[in-house]
Structure 1
Amino acid sequence: MTPLLEAIDLARHYPVGGGLFSRKPAGLVRAVDGVSFTVAKGETLGLVGESGCGKSTLARLTLRLIDPTAGTLRFEGQDITRLEGEAMRRLRPRMQMVFQDPFASLNPRMTVAEILAEPLLVHGIGDARQRRARVEALLPMVGLASHHADRKPHEFSGGQRQRIGIARALAVEPSLIVCDEPVSALDVSIQAQVVNLLKDLQARLGLSYLFIAHDLAVVRHVADRVAVMVLGRIMEVAPAEDLYARPSHPYTRMLLAAVPRPDPAQRHLPSAAPATADLPGPLSIPQGCRFHPRCPMAVEPCRREEPGLQPLAGAPGHLTACWRAAELPAWMPPPQAPPAPAAARRLALYAERRDQARDSG
């Protein structure tokens, strides 16, 4: 089956100037450097990694908001790598984005109705009456009331603003939504509501997501597969449950080992060896495996040659880029967090009812 989205050796490099009196570039920032992945119809691919690894650049490449330096990007089997003009404009409604900051991504001068109708107006979809009807249909889909249509963004909480951003992405009926850390600016209880909303919308509308996040617990809840990124390259990709139960790259293990342990008796048990150095920047990517300066298992081949993604034995769909993946010791995953105490559940219920009363008023 043809994937909805396919990236093949996708790259984006930025030349860095040599200074005020020099026209010669001082170097090259390889923000995305040969990334390949697929997103199937109705699937969520989670993308995780540290700040500066290239996740947001990859998101913008995926939507063709920036042009790739090299590589191929296909959408529904069509090569869109160099698509321009009217052909690209016709494709835009099929690929939308939910932004990280719900406070900065909405125009404060516009009402919710105007914000949701704007993409319809830009793409020439419907007349004024049809656009208003679409707005009224979108609001309940994201858990907002019809009377919210005539309010402005400053009258809403952060979680409600992100719901508006999701509704705006849905307005033109896309097939793919890129979620660039959509819950990182929200409180934990609100994060759960927004993530559950995204999952419900996916089930109802058959959406595909490229879901970018730092929070591994959020990614585990929402993703079907997870890709782990280091300095512009994907180091491991696998079905979500398999990756969390059997991480096969030292970097993935370090990310998972950093998850807080709720059991005091197990907080000091090591889940992985600690990093031995700071991660280099995208302007000074090392030779060989780009994680080897921090890897406690690095050997001479790791410093000479960069490994490619290879299948992990006995794990269908699990790929890893590590010369020593087969030698890693058994993994002890961090325990799951216990359920919230009754008092915390009552407090969350009270806050939800309070917000509903405020909204209805």
Structure 2
Amino acid sequence: MTKPLLELKGIKKLYPVRKGLIIQKQIGTVRAVDGVSFRLMPGETLSVVGESGCGKSTTARLAMRLIEPSEGTIHYDGQDITHAPRAELRRLRREMQIIFQDPYASLNPRMTVEEIIAEPMVVHNVGDNASRRDRVRELLRLVDLAPYHASRYPHEFSGGQRQRIGIARALSVSPRLIVCDEPVSALDVSIQAQIINLLKDLQQEFGLTYLFISHGLAVVKHVSDRVAVMYLGQVVETADKATLYANPRHPYTQALLAAAPEPDPTRRSAGRTLGGDIPSPLNPPSGCRFHTRCPLAQPRCSAEIPALREIGAGHLAACHFAETVPDFTRFRDGYGIRPRLQARLDLYARKRDAVASAIQ
């Protein structure tokens, strides 16, 4: 059986909160990531989605050992790298690269494009100057840029072009795993599609494995093989793409899908939006962390922490009532609430149809 390329087991990242100028006293702990576990198989794309502040990017940085975990283990290609020394991590960096969210801040404005893309090769002693120069021009062609762009500086490029440079830099040392930390969230929609298609083409050509971080469900649906949904530092549901979008079993996943914008105005429904704010990771709710905003919460939800358990083939959900959660379409349509809003939408639809008929 094929072994996972990347595996996280019970990973936690805790940040102590201290008070005082001279004698600092710890008054609490921010649970940024709290017991995340998942597997990423070779050649697969696993997307991690959730609202801002749920711990997605922190999880990605923990997976690459860019920040140190407080608890849990990280395995890469069967090797435990949780406490690997710096020299060992340096060797692994050739196989694990990252594409950052901000294409403006992630490129050194004082370096040319050639220097930026060649820098990982210099760090890892790959080739000589001539071969690096040839490799840079080859990579620029791969990401749909021209070879003459190598002599230019980052400020001479648009946001989409800068992200292509970031992708070329990540590919320069021929990695196996690339962490994509919201690589298209800062770009226009049309440019997002170009970058996503480029990433998919590169994955097919080089057999890459992606850990894709995003809050855009449309992007995730296009690029993923499997999806893990996070809420307040924990994974609440994991499934393959088709299952998750067709049959979500956690109310939070249903809420995310219901909140996604519908491009067809004739199909727009009075989807229920979640009430309240995301609880603070400094003082998370007892039991299920989502129960303070869940429309289906029961007394058990505030008293008992739900386990992330299997409810179908490869489908895991952290909900006490995952098997009996109402169908997704009921959440999308608001579980029957907001009747006045629905009535106004129906009236608008009738008026629109009448106008269309008169024009014809």
The question of a shared fold, defined as TM-score above 0.5 by the shorter chain, is answered with yes
The answer for the alignment partner of 1:39 in structure 2 is 40
The answer on whether the counterparts of 1:261 and 1:334 sit within 8 Å (CA) in structure 2 is no
The answer for the alignment partner of 1:354 in structure 2 is none
The answer on whether the counterparts of 1:97 and 1:180 sit within 8 Å (CA) in structure 2 is yes
* CA shift in 2, pair 1:75/1:39, >3 Å: same
Task: State, as a whole percentage, how many aligned pairs show the same letter.
Answer: 60
The answer for the alignment partner of 1:101 in structure 2 is 102
The answer for the alignment partner of 1:278 in structure 2 is 277
Counterpart Cα distance in 2 of 1:166 and 1:256: 29
Aligned residues: 331
Q: Deviations over 1:114-145 (max 9, x none)?
A: 10111111111111111112112111111111
**SS at 1:229's partner residue?**
strand
Within 5 Å, which residues of 2 pair with 1:68-87?
68-87=69-88
Q: Deviations over 1:267-287 (max 9, x none)?
A: 2343xx543432201101111
Within 5 Å, which residues of 2 pair with 1:124-273?
124-270=125-271, 273=272
Deviates more, 1:96-105 or 1:17-26: 17-26
Deviation of residue 22 (structure 1)?
Answer: 4.5
The answer on whether the counterparts of 1:278 and 1:293 sit within 8 Å (CA) in structure 2 is no
For structure 2, the 5+ residue unaligned runs are 334-360
Counterpart Cα distance in 1 of 2:228 and 2:44: 13
The answer on whether the counterparts of 2:100 and 2:182 sit within 8 Å (CA) in structure 1 is yes
Counterpart Cα distance in 2 of 1:213 and 1:268: 25
Letter of the 1:52 counterpart: G
The answer on whether the counterparts of 1:44 and 1:209 sit within 8 Å (CA) in structure 2 is yes
Larger-gyration structure (1/2): 2
Deviation of residue 334 (structure 1)?
Answer: 6.9
* CA shift in 2, pair 1:265/1:137, >3 Å: closer
The answer for the alignment partner of 1:310 in structure 2 is 309
Deviation of residue 21 (structure 1)?
Answer: 5.4
Q: Deviations over 1:3-42 (max 9, x none)?
A: 0000000111000112335511110001011000011000
The answer on whether the counterparts of 2:255 and 2:332 sit within 8 Å (CA) in structure 1 is no
What is the CA RMSD across the aligned residues, in angstroms? Answer: 1.4
Counterpart Cα distance in 2 of 1:150 and 1:138: 14
Letter of the 2:212 counterpart: F
Counterpart Cα distance in 1 of 2:300 and 2:332: 30
The answer on whether the counterparts of 1:159 and 1:186 sit within 8 Å (CA) in structure 2 is yes
User: Does residue 1:111 correspond to 2:112, yes or no?
Assistant: yes
Deviation of residue 260 (structure 1)?
Answer: 1.5
Counterpart Cα distance in 1 of 2:91 and 2:153: 29
Deviation of residue 305 (structure 1)?
Answer: 1.2
Counterpart Cα distance in 2 of 1:268 and 1:302: 29
Q: Deviations over 1:259-310 (max 9, x none)?
A: 122333442343xx54343220110111100111111111111111111111
Counterpart Cα distance in 2 of 1:100 and 1:202: 19
**SS at 1:7's partner residue?**
strand
**SS at 1:25's partner residue?**
strand
User: Does residue 1:17 correspond to 2:18, yes or no?
Assistant: yes
Q: Deviations over 1:131-188 (max 9, x none)?
A: 1121121111111111111111111111010000000000011110000000000000
Deviates more, 1:16-25 or 1:92-101: 16-25
Q: Deviations over 1:321-359 (max 9, x none)?
A: 000111111222979xxxxxxxxxxxxxxxxxxxxxxxx
The answer for the alignment partner of 2:52 in structure 1 is 51
Deviation of residue 63 (structure 1)?
Answer: 0.6
Deviation of residue 201 (structure 1)?
Answer: 0.3
**SS at 1:278's partner residue?**
coil
The answer on whether the counterparts of 1:274 and 1:296 sit within 8 Å (CA) in structure 2 is no
**SS at 2:93's partner residue?**
helix
Counterpart Cα distance in 2 of 1:70 and 1:93: 25
